[in-house]
């Protein structure tokens, strides 16, 4: 199959999408990253800026190792964006941390649709930084949800599967996020194999009420830190890379 990978230039995207492609080398891949926003954005709170800087340091330390090329696609629903997507003649889209909303004009391109691996348990945690909000809410469990994207609503599509793990409060937020992806990616790889074999994926609708979370505000971040939690730490990120043989 021809598979378009939609991601972002952060360490979690790089680790997860590299893993998926490495497990399924028989397919052809094209990687598109969401790139910077076209509109001017309000500078993030200081804590999130430090998180982003540490993330970029680790992101830059790893190669992509995905054959087929990497491009930015900040406007997937524009005429140029749709042309770029169609040019690869894709059978399937895999979205993972892609920071753009797909609309019907792009969703309808691949024959087998769009799968999204969301780093949160749906429907409870829709939106941004689900693991942060779960930790702030003192949840004992976090996880990934693999679901289909069928329209331009966010994190609402039919669910293929969920993977769950315990929160490790001794780890930073970012380390907890990264630890979601080994199981989440294996779930995604299994789904791709089924599609490739001509099997129909079983899904179930999100019938329970969900909650959409946005970017944490300074008071949210202060409450998080006051709980003794950390956003990112170089040591536990390096430990993750070591444990999973990523360096």
- Cα–chain center distance at 50: 20
pLDDT above 90 covers what percent of the chain? 90
Report pLDDT for 58.
Answer: 96
| CA 194/CA 93 separation, integer angstroms | 15
pLDDT at 140 over 80: yes
Average model confidence (pLDDT) across the chain: 95
Q: What is the pLDDT of residue 67?
A: 85
Taking residues 129-141, report their average pLDDT.
98
CA 21 to CA 220: how far, in whole Å? Answer: 36
Q: What is the pTM of this model?
A: 0.96
Domains in the chain and their CATH numbers?
2-243 (3.40.50.170)
For β-strands 141-148 and 70-72, DSSP reports them as: unpaired
pLDDT in tens, 175-231: 999 999 999 999 999 999 999 999 999 999 998 888 999 999 999 999 999 999 999
- Return the half-sphere exposure (C-beta side, CA atoms, 13 A cut-off) of residue 127: 13
Q: With 0-12 CB in 10 A as exposed, 13-18 as middle and 19+ as buried, what is 70?
A: middle
Among the listed residues 165, 176, 163, the one whose alpha carbon sits nearest the alpha carbon of residue 132: 176
The predicted-structure confidence for 37-71, as pLDDT tens digits, reads as follows 655 467 789 999 999 999 999 999 999 989 888 99
């Amino acid at each position: 199959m021809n598979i378009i990978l939609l991601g972002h230039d952060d360490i979690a995207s790089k680790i997860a999408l590299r893993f998926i492609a490495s497990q399924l080398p028989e397919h052809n891949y094209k990687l598109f990253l969401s790139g910077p926003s076209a509109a001017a954005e309000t500078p993030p709170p200081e804590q999130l800026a430090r998180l982003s800087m540490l993330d970029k340091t680790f992101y830059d330390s790893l190669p992509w190792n995905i054959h087929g090329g990497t491009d930015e696609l900040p406007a997937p629903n524009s005429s140029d964006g749709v042309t770029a997507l169609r040019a690869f003649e894709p059978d399937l889209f895999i979205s993972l941390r892609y920071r753009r909303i797909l609309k019907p004009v792009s969703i309808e391109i691949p024959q087998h649709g769009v799968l999204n691996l969301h780093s949160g348990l749906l429907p409870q945690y829709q939106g941004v930084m689900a693991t942060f909000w779960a930790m702030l809410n003192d949840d004992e469990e976090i996880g990934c949800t693999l679901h289909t994207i069928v329209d331009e609503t966010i994190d609402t599509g039919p669910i293929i599967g969920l993977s769950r793990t315990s929160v490790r409060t001794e780890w930073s937020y970012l380390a907890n996020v990264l630890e979601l992806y080994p199981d989440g990616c294996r779930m995604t790889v299994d789904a791709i194999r089924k599609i490739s074999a001509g099997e129909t994926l079983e899904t179930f609708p999100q019938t329970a009420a969900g909650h959409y979370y946005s970017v944490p505000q300074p008071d949210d971040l202060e409450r998080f830190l006051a709980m003794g939690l950390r956003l990112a730490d170089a040591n536990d990120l390096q430990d993750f890379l070591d444990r999973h043989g990523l360096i």
